[in-house]
Amino acid sequence: MKKLTHIDNEGQAKMVDVGAKPATQREATARGAVYMKMETLRLITNKKIAKGNVFEIARLAGIMAAKRTCELIPLCHQLNLTSVSVDLDIDRRKNKVDIEAKVKCTGQTGVEMEALTAVSVAALTIYDMCKAVDKAMVLSDIMLIEKRGGKSGEWKK
């Protein structure tokens, strides 16, 4: 049975010691979505949201968030990320914006949390920029899709 790595034998929180682990190439991909009204999607597409270009600001917010994950999530290690990409795609049939983040580094621990944080903050940014016209938006389906590197190797959903 697997044990929680961030809890010691007394049940207290601890940061995992990765000092003895070799640095390897690490990659993670996460996805999520923001569901909204058709009109909100149309406003985003036509760049008519008063706060600016929703996709570019959400992309930047996601990249910045990935870089600061260790400041947001307790017990996450600070990582020297080598690449962060955030892609946003419109799905008109389902009135949603799909978000995908890919994060890479060479390090002693994985980048799953950085990819998930990038997607989450990009989604929150879309909500923030569009809430004046659509408070009923739903942030959904945020999940890890795949990871590579480290002792556990490759994992795909």
**What is the 3-state composition of the chain as percent helix, strand, coil, each rounded to the nearest 5?**
30, 30, 40
| Residue with tokens 């009204």, as numbered in its chain | 37
Catalytic-labelled residue, pool 17, 128, 134, 141: 128
Q: Count of CB atoms within 10 A of residue 46's CB?
A: 8
What's the rounded Cα separation, in Å, for the pair 80 and 102? 15
Residue 17 designated active-site: no
Q: Which active-site residues does the annotation give? A: 128
